[in-house]
Amino acid sequence: MSALTDKISLCVEKGKADKTSPYPPDLMNQDGADEYARAAIEAGESPDEILAACNTAMERIGDRFSRNEVFVPELLMAARAMNAVMEHLKPFFQAGNIKTKGTFVLGTVAGDLHDIGKNLVAMVVEGNGWQVIDLGVDVKADRFLKAIEENPGCVVGLSALLTTTMANMAATLKSIKTSHPETLVLVGGAPLTRKAAEEMGADGYGNDPHETVKLLNSLAR
């Protein structure tokens, strides 16, 4: 990596989105991911190298999260810094100069209005080079089916926070598999366990954003 991409990677891992960001204290009043990304593009750095630097940073923070060395606030700040870089890379994605790893259709299932966990997963997944289509909350099965039809080959993520909506998750999963048996479906959320996910017939279970990204990246290879 170049000096600029090294700085981008550091800022993403530390959650330093831009110069005005007060966190982390040791980088106060210094340029952040936003400024370094702009400078890297102006200097002719490869967009793929910039994205790779961000992916490396998100993997590091994700590993630390899995080891309980950092927590949700730090992961959120890293994702925010990553999104600052992604704003600069979007024109390259749209022009086809950077290929996404795939499309991830995500939503909280019908009857459940919780979105904090889903939003965090969306931010981290997008920051790892996936196109994310976020359907929002209280998403009925037919909306997932429509999104699958509009995005052939996508991977679907079903989220639930309430124990009472796990039945809706299972029903939605069954509906997807009946209409589109080839579609891979990942599930996640506080009330779920790996065993419950397997009993539903899910293709994967993400117990946190980092685990979800690892699952998706394994599918992209």
User: Which pLDDT tens digit goes with each residue over 101-124?
Assistant: 899 999 999 999 988 889 889 988
- Count CB-CB contacts under 10 A for residue 191: 13
User: At the top level of CATH, which class does the domain 103-220 belong to?
Assistant: alpha beta
DSSP 8-state secondary structure symbol assigned to residue 159? E
The ranges of the chain annotated as CATH 3.40.50.280 are 103-220
Query: Which residue would you say has higher pLDDT here, 218 or 97?
Result: 218
Confidence label for 16 from pLDDT (cuts 50, 70 and 90): very high
Could you please report the per-residue DSSP string of 179-215? H-TTSEEEEE-TT--HHHHHHHT-SEE-SSHHHHHHH
Q: Mean pLDDT across the chain, nearest whole number?
A: 91
Give residue-wise pLDDT tens across range 144-174. Answer: 999 999 999 999 999 999 989 999 999 999 9
Give residue-wise pLDDT tens across range 3-14. Answer: 999 999 999 999
What pLDDT does residue 55 have? 84
Residue 10 DSSP SS3:
helix
The pLDDT > 90 percentage for the chain reads: 62
Residue 113 Cα distances to 96, 141, 144, 185, angstroms: 35, 15, 16, 20
Work out the widest C-alpha separation in the chain, in whole angstroms: 54
132 phi, psi to nearest 5 deg? -110, 130
128 phi, psi to nearest 5 deg? -100, 20
**Cα–Cα distance for residue pair 68/108, rounded to 1 Å:** 26
Give residue-wise pLDDT tens across range 24-59. Answer: 999 999 999 999 999 999 999 999 899 889 988 988
Count of all residues that appear for the chain in the document:
221
Chosen CATH of 3-94 out of 3.10.20.310, 1.10.10.10, 1.10.1240.10, 3.90.180.10? 1.10.1240.10
With 60 as the cut, is the pLDDT of residue 221 above it? no
What pLDDT does residue 8 have? 96
Confidence label for 220 from pLDDT (cuts 50, 70 and 90): low
What pLDDT does residue 76 have? 85
Q: Is the peptide bond before 91 cis (omega within 30 degrees of 0)?
A: no
DSSP 8-state secondary structure symbol assigned to residue 156? E
Residue 181 Cα distances to 12, 130, 174, angstroms: 37, 22, 9
**Cα–Cα distance for residue pair 9/33, rounded to 1 Å:** 8
The ranges of the chain annotated as CATH 1.10.1240.10 are 3-94
Please name the helix (run of DSSP H) or strand (run of DSSP E) that holds residue 25, with its range, or none.
Answer: none
Tell me the mean pLDDT in the region 80-92: 90
